[in-house]
Structure 1
């Protein structure tokens, strides 16, 4: 059971990283294939697509996962089938309802608000995506509840691959941003076909069980109420997180041009690239925190938390500093065929700082959830959503696209500070500030190094080449490593075909351990 649990968690962790990379590939391809105005439209409508899909899904995937796993564990298969059947009906109802609302009411209303008719068709196409994505969510909830994570990965892979390929073909054929969005329709439709095939092939008993069910309307309403009651916090949390990421892009068109919004959309995925690391740490720290907190093993719990935050800082500090200082050159290198995109350099610098704060929040939020306080994490996200909404209306009219980045950074900084204070108060986590200060000192050293380099492509490549060597040497000199670092490195070394001798020696010299203990 434990091995199966670890296997599934590793599969999901790998899948999340893989699909995050796929998402970035999609965005970068869209930047190359679309002009700045078209990409600005894509940036504006993406939050509406995400929010609408979240509302249409109704928080069903985690709800189904929870109850299906519980019912299966207690051999209540009939209750499991009833829940699935009612969930499918809810998904179809919500998907069609929100899809029609988007096509006939929300899209025309947004066009009037933004006073831009070019947004109408792209927004209406979103309405076609919603029914497919809502129903797909139900099936993925079933897979998760039965611990068949590979089926989730399969459906997501089909969705992402067909979405990217369809979007590319449609854009090349001349459909521009409309083709990019319609690619998502094709992607979710393909995913729906795949989950139906998977369910029929591997879960035939579920089909047969649902066909034999006999439920009256009152019982369906009772089950639906149970599902929706559990789903509401999930929906609020998801929408708040989307809002923190994307609220500024929905407000910007009220004050600046769509082309200027495009610069924000270009900078945002680059600024969020380092978050793949913190998100992976957050994913793994949640079950560990839950287990240690439940067993009241506070010493090990504090050690895990300390290392999670510390490793996040060790990795994020040099990467974020490099992107912030060489933001213009980063854009020139990544989008070498469109050098005018370097106008988004200031946005990238500010957003990268915001995502640095958010990387810390992602981990502390997982710790809070693992400590049995999921509502506290939800309240933090809702508070962040309200803050970024207010700040966007304050800063965007005066600072334009940079105002959106400032609003994001101030919000993520506030959320991070509050989460750290709350975590320390709730778990009595005594932060060993000496280790964190050493990381920040090493950050100051590489900041000085990067600042004295010429701000051109030559300086960019020199900085990229010597960034981590200087950083690691600094940590070694100031004794910024621990024995945990050495133990982890040796475990990694045992699983790869080559030795990490130089890095191992640097870590040994950067700690007070005896080298002879780790010679083997």
Structure 2
């Protein structure tokens, strides 16, 4: 990959890390402020937000990113700007319509989906976020198509800052009126933060549009042709996003209902959902700040290598990406297994999440590389196979949730997440293997890392105070355990200096 692309990937990773760190601080303070009951209500509202946003954007942001990249590669700046304006017009109409629908029918949505009228006000507030996030994604797609990650990065960080500000200014004052009011304030604060994130992107676009326009010698295309090109790409992308959103949304619908079948009261079911979706899963997904930028940059990296008939380079890129994310999964699994009570207690103030994390830790080994496999299928020009696998994954997930949660309670959701992501990893690998060969290095991907993780686990238990809940001691333990794991990986030859060296090229900003 070109150094410019690597640097943009590194920039996106750094910005995502800062945004995730701020987001974790927000999640920590929020959980301690509104508790698992409030988090549960927020997660239930968030389900409607995801569905609304998916329908509002219908894959247009990613379609715009790809078409913008193609136009700029040809020096066709006139159609680049026209393409952006058409996309913004379409998404403005769709997002406004869906936001208005949610605003008007919030009481019916609350009763129909959750049989909980308390969600009416939070649902009305969520309509603000749907509208502004949809528009923000158009700007992001436009800038990403230009390989300019700065606006998106600044916007992400701005949103998180204003979310943090909303806690003392909005959420805490509303807490006096009860948990529902505080949850409503959380959603309102999110909407206000999204408005500021949108304004940041709009300002970047305003100044970019004021720069002297480059001369374009290409004929301006008709709006109908541009729209056709956009929708040809947007429809399959939108379908994939819709399936993924359906999986998440129906999961959050099924869990509370299945918990009621298992004997939970409505309040206890919402609280359990808060522990699982609002505390445990954010800890599992936090490390994707490292894997997601790799997955994003891998698509053009593979496409470029295949187009140039350099299959060995494509194989190398896939193997390095898989190896890195699998080792990332092992390191996270090690940390969460060893400190499954201390980490959630320090962050959220609740030890109960620890029993979930001890099981969910296993899923990290398969979850992070699964994202890489999905990108590989897109890079190989087979998004239909990725969509097919996603449908299978979703069907299995929803089926297991219905069965296991109703029988085992919330721990059934924990086992479902672990089993389904493990299945998805092997399903995607076998799919790729049929169309493109790359070595499945079981020794360096699984056997050696397992030995290294076991050694680090036992050594930490012997030499460290792994049961302490003191913050300074926990931070020290996390560092020592991570260093032990890293050294053991180098000592066993699981990773080599030769493999690590290219990663540091992204820090070389010389032309």
TM bin, normalised by shorter chain, reads 0.7 to 0.9
CA contact (8 A) 1:170 1:183 kept: yes
CA contact (8 A) 2:333 2:361 kept: yes
| Structure 1 position 416, deviation (Å) | 0.1
TM-score (norm 2): 0.84
CA contact (8 A) 2:295 2:372 kept: yes
Residue 328 (structure 1) aligns with: 341
| Structure 1 position 426, deviation (Å) | 2.3
Distance (whole Å) between structure 2 residues aligned to residue 120 and residue 295 of structure 1: 55
CA contact (8 A) 1:22 1:160 kept: yes
Number of aligned residue pairs: 485
TM-score (norm 1): 0.82
Q: Per the alignment, do residues 84 and 430 of structure 1 end up closer, same or farther by CA in structure 2, a change over 3 Å counting?
A: closer
CA contact (8 A) 2:92 2:135 kept: yes
Q: 1:386-406 CA deviation, whole Å, 9 max, x = no partner?
A: 221121111111122111122
Q: 1:276 aligns with which of 289, 311, 331?
A: 289
CA contact (8 A) 1:290 1:370 kept: yes
Say which SS state the counterpart of residue 381 (structure 2) adopts: coil
Q: Per the alignment, do residues 382 and 106 of structure 1 end up closer, same or farther by CA in structure 2, a change over 3 Å counting?
A: farther
Say which SS state the counterpart of residue 440 (structure 2) adopts: coil
CA contact (8 A) 1:236 1:382 kept: no
Residue 186 (structure 2) aligns with: 180
Q: 1:189 aligns with which of 186, 195, 211?
A: 195
Alignment RMSD: 3.5
Distance (whole Å) between structure 2 residues aligned to residue 132 and residue 492 of structure 1: 33
Q: 2:405 aligns with which of 370, 392, 396?
A: 396
Residue 68 (structure 2) aligns with: 68
The gaps in structure 1 that reach 5 residues or longer are 496-520
Distance (whole Å) between structure 2 residues aligned to residue 389 and residue 180 of structure 1: 28
Residue 438 (structure 1) aligns with: 448
1:262 aligns with 2:271: no
Q: 1:220-254 CA deviation, whole Å, 9 max, x = no partner?
A: 56654543332122222223334555643332221
Q: 2:468 aligns with which of 457, 464, 467?
A: 457
Residue 120 (structure 1) aligns with: 120
Q: Per the alignment, do residues 314 and 9 of structure 1 end up closer, same or farther by CA in structure 2, a change over 3 Å counting?
A: closer
Bigger-Rg structure (1/2)? 1
| Structure 1 position 442, deviation (Å) | 1.7
- Between stretches 261-270 and 245-254, larger displacement belongs to 245-254
CA contact (8 A) 2:327 2:365 kept: no
1:56-455 aligned within 5 A: 56-105=56-105, 108-174=108-174, 175-204=181-210, 223-244=226-247, 247-256=250-259, 257-264=269-276, 265-335=278-348, 338=349, 341-436=350-445, 437-449=447-459
The gaps in structure 2 that reach 5 residues or longer are 175-180, 260-268
CA contact (8 A) 2:397 2:417 kept: yes
Distance (whole Å) between structure 1 residues aligned to residue 69 and residue 270 of structure 2: 46
Q: 1:349-388 CA deviation, whole Å, 9 max, x = no partner?
A: 2233223311120122222222232322232223222221
Q: 1:10-60 CA deviation, whole Å, 9 max, x = no partner?
A: 333333333333333332221122122111111222232122112212222
| Structure 1 position 99, deviation (Å) | 0.7
Q: 1:139-168 CA deviation, whole Å, 9 max, x = no partner?
A: 333323344432333333333322332344
| Structure 1 position 323, deviation (Å) | 0.6
Higher relative contact order (CA 8 A, sep 6+): 2
- Between stretches 135-144 and 90-99, larger displacement belongs to 135-144
